[in-house]
Amino acid sequence: MYHPSGNIARQTAGSGTGVLEPVAPATDAILFQRCTWCGTAMYHRLLCPVCQCGDLRTERSEGVGTVRHATVVHRNTPVARNVSLIELTEGFVVRGRVMGPPAAIHSGDRVRMSTVKDPVRGEPVFQLLDEPYRAWH
């Protein structure tokens, strides 16, 4: 498999272990990894899913994305809750919860990460950026 030699700055930019490294003091941002070889963005991986490279650098997400899939879960919880897959603008997908009535969250809704954390699962929580127009539903 071909792998570019790179330069010194490029080699030190990533983590040799592929584990998320803190970029700055702990904040409410989502940290993700980007492959230094092919540029693929991913969330909590040891190797790039595209080229299998282990040279991954940690970056901070802006926290803005789009709901790709949303489902309502009724099991093991006193009230219904939503579980959503959010595609962030940086190009990776993260599982989280969107604030609001579970049945009102739909694919295509634009969201931004909230400072609230899911108390049960510790997953990121998002809020709707704008109320979608649903007159036809």
* 76/7: higher pLDDT: 76
Query: Residue 2 above 60 pLDDT?
Result: no
Percent of all residues in the chain with a pLDDT value above 70, rounded to a whole number: 73
Angle, CA of 127, 75 and 32, to the nearest 5°? 40
* Burial (Cβ within 10 Å: 0-12, 13-18, ≥19) of residue 53: middle
What is the overall mean pLDDT for the chain?
Answer: 78
Residues 16-67: tens digit of each pLDDT:
444 444 444 445 678 999 999 999 999 989 999 999 999 999 999 999 999 9
Amino acid at 72: V
The pLDDT value recorded for residue 131 is 66
The pLDDT value recorded for residue 127 is 92
The pLDDT value recorded for residue 134 is 56
How would residue 133 be classed by pLDDT, with cut points 50, 70 and 90?
low
Query: Residue 114 above 80 pLDDT?
Result: yes
70 vs 20: CA distance, rounded Å:
27
pTM over 0.75: no
How would residue 15 be classed by pLDDT, with cut points 50, 70 and 90?
very low
